[in-house]
Amino acid sequence: MKNIDWFYNAGYGIFCHWTTKTLNKDGNQIPHSEAIEKFDIDTFTSQIIDTGARFLFFTITHSDMYVPFPLKELDDIVPDHTSKRDLINEMYEKLNPHGIKLMVYFNGDGSTDPEWKSKTESKTNPSVHAEYCYKITEAISKKYGEKICGWWIDCCYEPGICSETGLRYDYNKYAKALKAGNPDSIVAFNFRGVEPWGSVWGKGISDFQAGEENDLAHYPDGRFSGEGDTQWFGLCWMDDYWVHEKQGEPKPVHSNEKVLNYIKKVKKGGGVFAYNVAPYQEGHISEHTMKQLLWLKENGVND
């Protein structure tokens, strides 16, 4: 697992949920296509750099199948779901000189996107829908190559948790598509958060566990104690609940000391942690959240 070593050594980074549901600072919302064009990449990347984070996960799809970059393969399926501006390439160009790795979140479910669900037969023919997900992610992987260092794939739950997903995918095929442009990129499929897998489907395919959690109560029992004997990874929402969808300024839900002690304990146990921020539609992390992130840096979160 040589390609996972950089992730283990990084130890701490930022996960960012910026989606079609994100509100701007005034509590309103402009069309997503317009928000992409107005996204303040300079402020956003400067804030990420200031936190001392060593990697950034950024959502390229979420509940709707809209991506913040040009992609013919998606346009051919659902027109007007892409943008002229390439936010991913701009992020890479800003972050790479600072040694910050860029990783992406992808969700092919499109739960609130009726056009995508209809065109890809997500409710009627799961295997056909899966092929569309392979096609789109392979195209994205080839488009960016080594610029994308990792993938976090959502909605891969087992039966009984979300019966409409999970079993539709051939995970060997999915992983191959994700790594088409960069064989050294690392992948995680979100099966059941931090709980042990109920089966071994996916074991030996993922490089790190998805590790989604709603509190700061899970710890690694060694570096490769993640689901399926993968690199242990934890991801938790830390201000708004994943996405900034409610009025008001996002504020940290845990004290500075609690967060710092938790991250240090995770790293000491061989794990990696990502602090999830919910920025405004403008692309700005809230003042209160930035204060905590800067405090963590000043008090040795990267030590």
Q: Each residue of 46-56: pLDDT tens digit?
A: 999 999 999 99
Residue-wise pLDDT for 79-117, tens only, equals 999 999 999 999 999 999 999 999 999 999 898 999 999
Can you give the CATH number for the domain in which 261 is found?
Answer: 3.20.20.80
Query: Cβ distance 65 to 78 under 8 Å?
Result: yes
Would 303 be classed as within a structural domain? no
Q: What is the dihedral of CA 283, 81, 184, 177, to 10 degrees?
A: 160
Domain span at 287:
2-298
Q: What is the pLDDT along the chain (303 residues), one digit of tens a residue?
A: 468 999 999 999 999 999 999 999 999 999 999 999 999 999 999 999 999 999 999 999 999 999 999 999 999 999 999 999 999 999 999 999 999 999 999 999 898 999 999 999 987 888 899 999 999 999 999 999 999 999 999 988 654 444 455 568 888 999 999 999 999 999 999 876 544 444 445 567 899 999 999 999 999 999 999 888 899 999 999 999 999 999 999 999 999 999 999 999 999 999 999 999 999 999 999 999 999 999 999 999 999
Domain assignment present for 250 = yes
Residue 276 lies in a domain: yes
For Cα atoms 94, 4, 71, give the angle at the middle one, nearest 5 degrees.
50
Q: Specify if 56 maps to a domain.
A: yes
Cα–Cα distance between 239 and 235 in angstroms, integer? Answer: 13
Give CA separation, 246 vs 18, 22, 66, 119, in Å.
13, 9, 21, 31
Supply 172's token pair: 């060997």
Please choose, from the candidates 67, 189, 88, the residue with its C-alpha nearest in 3D space to the C-alpha of residue 136.
67
- 240 within some domain: yes
* Amino acid making up residue 85: R
Asked whether residue 285 is domain-assigned, the answer is: yes
Establish if 100 belongs to a structural domain. yes
- Quick one: DSSP state of residue 249? -
What whole-number distance in Å separates Cα of residue 53 and Cα of residue 266?
A: 15
Let me know if residue 207 belongs to a domain. Answer: yes
Residue 274 · residue 16 · CB < 8 Å:
no
Tally of domains within the chain: 1
